[in-house]
Structure 1
Amino acid sequence: MKPCARPLHVFQMLKEFVRAIRDIAIIQRMAVEHGILHHDCSLYNVMIMGNPNDSNGLLIDWEFAIYITSNDEYSIGGMGTIPFISCALLAQMAELQTKARQQEAHKSSSKTLALPPSRISQSFGDDLESLFYVFAYVCIKYSGPNGREHQESVPDSLLDSWLTLDLDVCKLRKVYFFAVSTEEARLEKQFHPYFAKLDPLVKEWRVILRDNMETQVTFDNVIGLLEHHLATLQDDEEHSSTNKNLRKSAEELTHHMTKQAAEAGWSTSISSPKLAKWKKEAGVSGSDSDTSVTHVTVESEGSN
């Protein structure tokens, strides 16, 4: 049976990648509008379904989804994977982790009180922040389409700093990432060059989430940003780039052949019937011949 979807990092075009991220944000918004919080946005819960030019983002693993409460408080559990958890959630979880350690250290004491059932405050803003980490993770870890990983090591990697199991340390590193201006350059430097066109997008998204510490981020903020940058990307930039490189190579080859012919005293003229025949055999249209390969024959001056 053929899988109906593929992981996000197995995107085939840059535009497909950004479109999938946009679609995930839209799915999150639709769920919230129906009173549901997905609760667990991470790299392996976001997928792509369909062919590259008309694919859609897909959010899976809804088993931890929760009904939104009036006070946005929920029992702890199923809140995501550490590298993708928001700063606010990490702060609350770190506090609970510290209390649990203290209780463990004093569990032999009869005076130790059991902790009350753990509750955590969470909103859709946390899920949108998680989606940002998914986006950044792909741009740092991978070097292009089809899951091609970044082969060179990334010094002082942000991903490594977000992977620590010490929740308090992870929280501090993420808060620092948003609060300190030099972190923007650090993020941009760690993006693989393939994703360079997305530098403006990630910078603006980072600012939105930084401001989220004071004013809650909205779906309109993030979705509008993604759609704006999505419109700037070509439908098939890999195909366009390949054609551009082929044209450049053809022009260089033509120039080289023409130069050699001139140095040898040969004629570079070509008869129209021959040119038409070659075009037909090569499947090249008249317009293509002007911008791609120029057909050249060389005939000795003495052969006429």
Structure 2
Amino acid sequence: ETHLHRRLLLSPVGDPLVQFHSLQELVSIFIDIIQVHFVLIDVYNILHRDISINDILMFICTTRWTAASHDQEEQENVIVKKKFRCSLLIDFDYADMLNSGKQGVSSSDRTIGGTIPFMAIDLLREYNSPSKDFMHTFSHDLESLIYVLVWICILYQAPNEICSDWTIEQTCLKQWALAKTTADIQALCDQKVGQLSTRSVLSDFMPYFEPLKP
């Protein structure tokens, strides 16, 4: 007889990424996600393939941060005051196993995956008719992380505070959010190429995020 064990999750396991408390915590979360991404690839041979702003959560770390301090009271204060939280990468619907060389996932194995506003340029270029030798690689996921950060820096004026002075249609992210058709996606691909080469997206960064500009 086969028995199935199910676990029901009845409460939130983390906070949305945009609820970060400070720039330091935001940067810490992104560093954490990069490390998680590396472990998924290096240890488990898994490529996420769909990193977006809604796939990154934050949760309070309950382990002792001995690397930060050996003082028990200070360690407890770090946790209680929520100075820094850990990241949680969710939504593995598009995830797949890497090939034997850990180079990537071939388009012949799966269709092009991702959330359009945060997709890497190469993925947008191959979106509608991927070539046989095209592979989704770890660098495409890392590029998606950059777009997540850009999204936050332009649309939020402070932690958990969306900008009230303009809408997304008034920013350089308009095409990112509205791309739906084949023509839209190709236009978005071309736009991202231009934005990265000229760094024009930096001009739309909110003042709060000025320290993050390269």
Which category of TM-score, normalised to the shorter sequence, fits these structures? 0.7 to 0.9
1:31 to 40, 44, 48: 40
TM-score by length of 2: 0.74
Q: Report the Cα offset of residue 122 of structure 1.
A: 0.7
1:18 to 8, 27, 44: 27
Q: Normalized per residue, which structure has more strand?
A: 2
- Output the amino acid matched with 1:27: V
Tell me the percent identity: 29
Partner of 1:152: 165
Structure 1: gaps (5+ residues): 97-116, 201-304
The structure with the largest alpha-carbon Rg is 1
The Cα RMSD (Å) is 2.2
2:126 to 81, 87, 92: 92
Q: Report the Cα offset of residue 169 of structure 1.
A: 1.0
Q: Report the Cα offset of residue 118 of structure 1.
A: 7.4
Partner of 2:146: 132
1:54 aligns to what SS in structure 2? coil
User: Quick one: distance in 2 between partners of 1:39 and 1:173?
Assistant: 22
Q: Report the Cα offset of residue 3 of structure 1.
A: 2.1
User: Quick one: distance in 2 between partners of 1:94 and 1:174?
Assistant: 17
Matches within 5 A, 1:1-304: 2-34=11-43, 35-50=45-60, 52-70=82-100, 72=104, 73-74=106-107, 75-77=109-111, 79-95=113-129, 120-145=134-159, 147-153=160-166, 157-163=171-177, 164-165=179-180, 166-179=184-197, 181=198, 184=199, 186-200=200-214
User: Quick one: distance in 2 between partners of 1:150 and 1:94?
Assistant: 33
Q: Is the 8 A contact 2:112 2:123 kept in 1?
A: no
User: Quick one: distance in 2 between partners of 1:94 and 1:152?
Assistant: 36
The runs of at least 4 aligned residues of structure 1 exceeding 3 Å deviation read 74-78, 117-120
Partner of 1:238: none
Q: Is the 8 A contact 1:94 1:168 kept in 2?
A: no
1:58 aligns to what SS in structure 2? strand
Instruction: Tell me the number of residue pairs that the alignment of Structure 1 and Structure 2 aligns.
Output: 175
1:19 aligns to what SS in structure 2? helix
- Output the amino acid matched with 1:153: W
TM-score by length of 1: 0.53
Evaluate the alpha carbon distance shift between residue 167 and residue 76 of structure 1 in structure 2; reply closer, same or farther with a 3 A threshold.
Answer: farther
User: Quick one: distance in 2 between partners of 1:76 and 1:122?
Assistant: 10
- Output the amino acid matched with 1:62: F
Q: Report the Cα offset of residue 36 of structure 1.
A: 1.0
Q: Report the Cα offset of residue 143 of structure 1.
A: 1.0
